[in-house]
Structure 1
């Protein structure tokens, strides 16, 4: 399990050559397109999502960047009732590159790289107190506090002996191997809620999560803005998620029993079903 976890975790080189490099590319592009003299000056970029939490897994697919724009020239008043024009203007800055409008409500700009993978740039205005206005997709805005959510996760990671992020990386492999029914942010937040204590035994942590997770599906946005994170699940999808947890819990318990009996081949077989075909057999 330790080798598998190492294999799916990003290296220090990838953190700088891919993740930080792509964030810096966003900063360069937006600083050029929206300088301090612009009516819509770019302020700063903040790494968000899995890359910021240390839960991103290989191969690196997407990197999330929060792009904060300044209201120093009263730009907010221009776009207050028309977030679509704001988003389109940011996307236009990437003319000539392969882009797409993405997100649950079409509130981000996705920039694709020829080398593979992409960056999702979420352009926002700061409303103060770590609350940001994000385009809603219908011309309106939604409030979001991703930096607050990130800080909360970082605190939970420390409280759990720095064992939370590694476990979440394994859970993402499970999720990806079984229809990817759960959104990444939802899964991360569930894992942070499930445990009061968490050791470094990954097999034990996974088994406990699968057993307890059905009671923690309805977690709230730790940023305090989006309410319940399970709202995207239909009744049918919710039942499928619960059944997936139960099936994984059963297999994980059997894998641990097999390992205790010295049947390492059977244990590996079961973990491979749980965590996907890249798990060593």
Structure 2
């Protein structure tokens, strides 16, 4: 519980950090997955990516992502085919586990909790960025390939986070919590880049103000695709289909309106009422007042 809006957000940001037990839960599966991919496809370069490697994952909600570097002799021209090959290899080892393709990854659902799902992205090394980070091609969802460099993007987010008193990654977690708690079909990668690029022009972070402002920004731009600020992935879409984009925009509009009321009541010093509306924004996940 908390008695100030700032206190409420501080408490919530601490709740969103995955526990050590959750982070360790997949360690055994990770090693087994890597060993199987190595024996079947000669994969030795197997490393963590995504929000879990960048400190922006949400407790019990974010999957754990890995890139599997596929050597040239085992690569397929079609990314759809490569995903099927990886799925078949892993299904041989984990015969009773629900394993399925969700491009750009093969998902291994070792449990019902999202943090118990390990996602394997087949990746082809293509070279290095100007600052020395590896660049890969990964499935683009339509049989082809797109460029990706997790370390370039992680470095970008970390740099902005460091410049703003390490409050950017918690802000990203807050925005992702709204996504997960309200079942909003928006890309986590898009959300991470959009928040980072937007906040990089500021000199400080205030969670209540910036969550509302970011929701407003997302609605105002109508979730338009954005240019990767690091020039690696080209255009980054907010959602995988137009239907999902429209659904996400509708739900984000509702969240924006509720956050506007929360800010209004805080301005009138009606703090308990402000807590009520922030709780609506986070669909029951905001700390209680008191």
Q: 1:43 is matched with which residue?
A: 44
Q: 2:167 is matched with which residue?
A: 163
How far does the alpha carbon of each residue in 1:202-237 deviate from its partner, in whole angstroms, 9 at most, with x for none?
Answer: 112212212333237432234523423237452x76
How much is the aligned-residue C-alpha RMSD, in angstroms?
2.9
Structure 1 ranges of 4+ moved more than 6 A: none
How far does the alpha carbon of each residue in 1:76-103 deviate from its partner, in whole angstroms, 9 at most, with x for none?
Answer: 5xx4435455433322332124243323
Gaps of 5+ in 2: 1-8, 129-133
Question: Which of residues 96, 107, 110 in structure 2 aligns to 1:110?
Answer: 107
TM-score by length of 1: 0.80
Change (3 A) 1:223 1:53: farther
Higher relative contact order by CA 8 Å / sep ≥ 6: 1 or 2?
2
1:26 to 2:33 alignment: yes
Contact 1:44 1:67 in 2 (8 A): yes
SS at match of 1:43: coil
SS at match of 2:45: strand
Residue 67 (structure 1) shift: 0.8
Change (3 A) 1:261 1:230: closer
1:182-261 to 2 correspondence within 5 Å?
Answer: 182-195=186-199, 196-197=201-202, 199-213=204-218, 214-215=220-221, 217-221=224-228, 222=230, 224-230=232-238, 232=240, 234=242, 238=245, 241-242=248-249, 244-261=251-268
SS at match of 2:236: coil
SS at match of 2:44: strand
How many matched pairs? 266
TM-score by length of 2: 0.78
Q: 2:3 is matched with which residue?
A: none
Change (3 A) 1:185 1:61: closer
